[in-house]
Amino acid sequence: MSEYAGRIDDLAQRASEARESFDPPDDPPDEERALSYLREGFGPTVSVYLEARTGGRLTRFDGEEFDRLQRAMNDWLALYARCYGVSYDPEYTVRTAAELVVDTHDVRDTAAVLTHVP
């Protein structure tokens, strides 16, 4: 396990709970909630990956840890899309998302590119 295991567990648990309890907006889009999923979930999840890869020494995640990180990131993206009335089950790598965040400097732009929403 890496030094990021606790953060990954927290992000994965919160993403799973949010996805299970999600109640679609009556009149999409719910932009405020979509942005909160990016700020509170997607962004911090990608940030864990970026910190591990750029923090001065390369941190390796074990397979299970990496899978949880990636699943959490995709869960947050799915929630973002659902706030716009789009049912979407993304399967992106966290590396792809991290590269887009680095290129765009914006989690909303990254989410829009990956989900095609809005």
Mean residue pLDDT of the chain comes to: 96
For 96, other C-beta atoms within 10 Å of its C-beta total 15
pLDDT in tens, 38-63: 999 999 999 999 999 987 778 889 99
Q: Give CA torsion, residues 4, 1, 72, 116, to 10 deg.
A: 80
Q: How many Cα atoms occupy the beta-carbon half-sphere of 81 within 13 Å?
A: 19
**Which residue in the block uniquely carries the two structure tokens 């869960």?**
75
Q: Are 59 and 3 in contact (CB under 8 A)?
A: yes
pTM of the complete model: 0.94
Q: First CA to last CA across the chain, in angstroms?
A: 37
